[in-house]
Amino acid sequence: MPSAQTVRISNMSRPYAATAASIAAFTVLAAAPAFADSAYVTQAAVGGSAQIQMIGPSHNPQTAVTHARSISVPTSTPEMAAARGSGHMAQTFQIGNHNHVAHLQVGTGNQSTAGIIGNLNQVGVLQAGNNLRSNVVLLGTQGLNVGVIQPPGSPPVSMLIARLPNGGLLIKR
First-to-last C-alpha distance (Å) of the chain: 95
Interstrand relation of 157-163 and 169-172 (parallel, antiparallel or unpaired): antiparallel
Residues paired with 134 in a beta bridge:
112, 157
pLDDT digits (tens, 9 = 90+) for 1-23: 454 444 444 555 566 666 766 77
Give the angle subtended at the CA of 98 by the CAs of 93 and 103, to the nearest 5°.
Answer: 50
Residue 4 is predicted with a pLDDT of 47
Give the angle subtended at the CA of 162 by the CAs of 115 and 141, to the nearest 5°.
Answer: 75
Residue 173 is predicted with a pLDDT of 86
- Tell me what the pLDDT averaged over the chain comes to: 76
pLDDT digits (tens, 9 = 90+) for 39-63: 666 666 666 666 666 565 555 555 5
pLDDT at 25 over 90: no
| Among 55-59, 98-102, 143-147, 158-162, the least confident range | 55-59
**Average pLDDT estimate for 107-124:** 93
pLDDT at 124 over 70: yes
pTM, rounded to two decimals? 0.51
